[in-house]
Structure 1
Amino acid sequence: MTTPGSGPTVGLIAPGKIGLPFAANLIADGYTVWGYRRGSMADFEALGGKAAGSAKEIAERVDVIYTCVTSADALDTVISGEQGLLTAGRSDVLVVDIGAMALSRKEAARDVLAANGITMLDAPVSGTPPMVAERRAVVFASGDETQFERVRPALAALGSIVYTGAFGSGSKMKFVANTLVAVHTAVAAEAIALAKAMDLDLQQVIDRIKPSAAASTMFNVRAPMMAENRFRPVKGTVAGMVDVMDAIKATAAEAGATMPLLSATLKICEEACAQGYGEEDIASIISVLGAESIKAVTKGIETAGTAG
C-alpha cells in the first residue's frame, strides 16, 4: 500500500463530481493534493486533501495544476480573475484541463496562459464519477508530448489514457465519443418506448437485442434501466450530458459540421431537465419522449425521414 503523501504534490481546482474521485485516487497513490473550489471543501478534506483559499494559492504551492471546471467562464476566472492562477506570478507551472467546453474557449485559455509562459494540456475525461473512482474512465490527452509524459502517471488515476497529438485533438476525440453516447442513448430510449407502446415483453426485447447487430453499449447498459423506469444509481446525469452537448454543438458549428441527431437529443435532454430529471441518469430521458415539446422538435425530422 502506498504511503499517503509519499509522492508528488499537485493542485486540483474545482474538485466536484469528477474531481473528487480523481483526488481520492491520487491520494491513494501517495500524492499530496491541494484543492480549491468556491464553497465547502469538507468532502475533499475528508479524503485527505488539503484545502487552499484560492487558485492563486494553489499556483503558489504546486508545479502541476489540474482544472476540472464546468464552464469556459469558470476557467477564465480561475486563470485571470482576482486571486486567479496568473496572480501568483509564476511561469513554471503546468496546467492540465480535464473538463469539456467549446474548443475555441479552451484554446483561448491556453493562449492567455502561454502569453504568461505557462503550458496548458487539454486532457478531457470521458466517463462517469463511478468509472473514475474505479479507474475505468478514458482520458483523451493532447498538447505538448513532453509535458504529457510528465503527468501521465497522475492521469492514470482516472483510467486509461489516449494521447491524441496536438492541443485540442483530445477534446475533439471526446466530442466524437460523446456524440455517440448521447445519440445512442436517445435511440435506445426511443426503441424501448416503441416496445412499450406495442406491449412487447420488455425483458424479451432486451434479451434478443443485446447479442444482435442492433445493440450498442448504451442499449445494453441503459435499456434495462429504461424498461424498469429505474434511473439510479446514476452513471451519468442528464444535466451533465446537456453541458457536453452544448460544447459539442459550439465546436461543431466552428468546424462547419451539422448535427441534426445531436440537436434532437439535446432538446430531449433539455426537456428532461425541465421536468426534474437533470440529476437522474441519462436513461431517464425515456420519461419525456411523449412530451408535446419533443413532438414539436422531432416533427421536422420525421417529415424529412418520410419525404420522397
Structure 2
Amino acid sequence: YESLRAGQIVVDMSTISPEATVKFAERLRGKKCELLDAPVSGGENGAMAGTLTIMAGGDERTFQKCLPLFQAMGKNITHCGAGGNGQRVKLVNQVICALNILAMSEGLQLAGSLGLDREKVLHIVSSGAAGSWMLSNLAPRILQNDFRPGFMIKLQQKDLRLASEAIAALGENFPGTVLTYSLFTKAVEQGLGEQGTQGLINVFKQAKGRSGEIAPSMTPK
C-alpha cells in the first residue's frame, strides 16, 4: 500500500468479502489509485488453458484499461458494475458450485450404496439432464480415488462462509447454502480441508455405518 503511486491500478483476483473490497477501494482512492475486484472461475484447467471466467467490479474505464490483461487469462470476461460486484457474483458462483458438488457426491454415494456400477452410472447421468461441469471434471477423479486439489475444500468452505455472511445480512432463507456450508465445515473438521472439493464425498464415506446423521436439521422426517 505504501509503495503505490497516484494513477496506479490494483487488481484483486482473490475471493474476499464484498464489503472488505469496497473499503479497500475507498482507501486506494485516497491515494488516487483504482481497485478492480476480479475473482475468477474455471478451475485449474481453466487457469492453465487461459480460459478462465473473470467477473470484475469497479470503474468501467479502469476495467477497459485492464481488459487486455484479463484477455490473456480468460475467455468469458464480464464487467459486473460497481466495486464489490465482482465478489458478489463470485459468491453466487461458489454457492452454485457447492450445491453441484453436493449433488454429485450424494448421487455417486447413492449409486455405490445401491450396488450399482458407478462408472456406468456416471456415463448415463452425464449425458442426460443431470450432466454438469462437476460430473465431467470431478466425478472421474472420485472414481479413481484421486482427491488431489484443483480447488481445496478449505477454500470452498471459506467462500461459503462469506456467502453465509452476505445471506445473514439480507435476512433471507437459503437452505441449500446452509446445508453445503455445514457439510464443507464438517469436512474441514474431519481433516479433509486440503483435499480437492471432490473430497466432500469422503464425509459421506466416514459417516457410513455410524449412527447419527450428517446434517440432522436438514433431514426429512
Normalization by structure 1: what TM-score?
0.65
Match of 1:264 among 179, 190, 195: 179
Which residue identity lines up with residue 128 of structure 1 in the other structure?
Answer: G
User: What is the DSSP-based 3-state SS (H/G/I as helix, E as strand, rest coil) of the residue aligned with 2:193?
Assistant: coil
The structure-2 alpha-carbon separation of the partners of 1:207 and 1:89, relative to structure 1 and needing over 3 Å to count, comes to closer
Which residue identity lines up with residue 112 of structure 1 in the other structure?
Answer: R
Question: For the residues of structure 1 that align with 2:9 and 2:216, how far apart are their CA atoms?
Answer: 49
Question: For the residues of structure 1 that align with 2:141 and 2:67, how far apart are their CA atoms?
Answer: 35
User: What is the DSSP-based 3-state SS (H/G/I as helix, E as strand, rest coil) of the residue aligned with 1:194?
Assistant: helix
The alpha carbon displacement at 1:239 in A equals 1.5
User: What is the DSSP-based 3-state SS (H/G/I as helix, E as strand, rest coil) of the residue aligned with 1:174?
Assistant: helix
The alpha carbon displacement at 1:241 in A equals 0.9
Aligned to 1:299: 216
Which residue identity lines up with residue 185 of structure 1 in the other structure?
Answer: I
User: What is the DSSP-based 3-state SS (H/G/I as helix, E as strand, rest coil) of the residue aligned with 2:15?
Assistant: coil
Which residue identity lines up with residue 289 of structure 1 in the other structure?
Answer: F
Please say if 1:215 is aligned against 2:131: yes
Question: For the residues of structure 1 that align with 2:83 and 2:6, how far apart are their CA atoms?
Answer: 19
The alpha carbon displacement at 1:89 in A equals 6.4
CA contact 2:18–2:85 (8 Å) conserved in 1: no
1:203-227: per-residue Cα shift (whole Å, max 9, x none)? Answer: 1111111111122221232222223
Unpaired runs of 5+ in structure 2? none
The alpha carbon displacement at 1:296 in A equals 4.6
The structure-2 alpha-carbon separation of the partners of 1:89 and 1:145, relative to structure 1 and needing over 3 Å to count, comes to closer
The structure-2 alpha-carbon separation of the partners of 1:89 and 1:269, relative to structure 1 and needing over 3 Å to count, comes to closer
Q: How does 1:195-206 map to 2 (within 5 A)?
A: 195-206=111-122
User: What is the DSSP-based 3-state SS (H/G/I as helix, E as strand, rest coil) of the residue aligned with 1:165?
Assistant: coil
The alpha carbon displacement at 1:235 in A equals 2.3
CA contact 2:21–2:83 (8 Å) conserved in 1: no
User: What is the DSSP-based 3-state SS (H/G/I as helix, E as strand, rest coil) of the residue aligned with 1:225?
Assistant: helix
- How many residue pairs align between the two structures? 218
CA contact 1:94–1:119 (8 Å) conserved in 2: yes
User: What is the DSSP-based 3-state SS (H/G/I as helix, E as strand, rest coil) of the residue aligned with 1:193?
Assistant: helix
More contact order relative to length (CA 8 Å, sep ≥ 6): 2
The structure-2 alpha-carbon separation of the partners of 1:300 and 1:145, relative to structure 1 and needing over 3 Å to count, comes to same
Aligned to 1:278: 193
Question: For the residues of structure 1 that align with 2:193 and 2:152, how far apart are their CA atoms?
Answer: 6
The alpha carbon displacement at 1:291 in A equals 4.5
**Percent identity for Structure 1 against Structure 2:** 25
The alpha carbon displacement at 1:276 in A equals 2.9
The structure-2 alpha-carbon separation of the partners of 1:224 and 1:120, relative to structure 1 and needing over 3 Å to count, comes to same
CA contact 2:25–2:83 (8 Å) conserved in 1: no
Aligned to 1:14: none
Question: For the residues of structure 1 that align with 2:214 and 2:99, how far apart are their CA atoms?
Answer: 15
Aligned to 1:287: 202
Which residue identity lines up with residue 286 of structure 1 in the other structure?
Answer: I
Runs of 4+ in 1 over 3 A off after TM superposition: 290-297
Which residue identity lines up with residue 249 of structure 1 in the other structure?
Answer: S
User: What is the DSSP-based 3-state SS (H/G/I as helix, E as strand, rest coil) of the residue aligned with 1:96?
Assistant: strand
User: What is the DSSP-based 3-state SS (H/G/I as helix, E as strand, rest coil) of the residue aligned with 1:138?
Assistant: strand
Match of 1:238 among 153, 156, 174: 153
The alpha carbon displacement at 1:297 in A equals 5.2
Question: For the residues of structure 2 that align with 1:106 and 1:280, how far apart are their CA atoms?
Answer: 28
1:37-63: per-residue Cα shift (whole Å, max 9, x none)? Answer: xxxxxxxxxxxxxxxxxxxxxxxxxxx
The alpha carbon displacement at 1:96 in A equals 1.4
CA contact 1:231–1:281 (8 Å) conserved in 2: yes
Cα RMSD between the aligned structures? 2.2
Unpaired runs of 5+ in structure 1? 1-84
Normalization by structure 2: what TM-score?
0.89
The alpha carbon displacement at 1:127 in A equals 3.0
Question: For the residues of structure 2 that align with 1:294 and 1:277, how far apart are their CA atoms?
Answer: 21
Question: For the residues of structure 1 that align with 2:58 and 2:186, how far apart are their CA atoms?
Answer: 36
Which residue identity lines up with residue 137 of structure 1 in the other structure?
Answer: L
The alpha carbon displacement at 1:157 in A equals 2.6
Please say if 1:97 is aligned against 2:12: yes
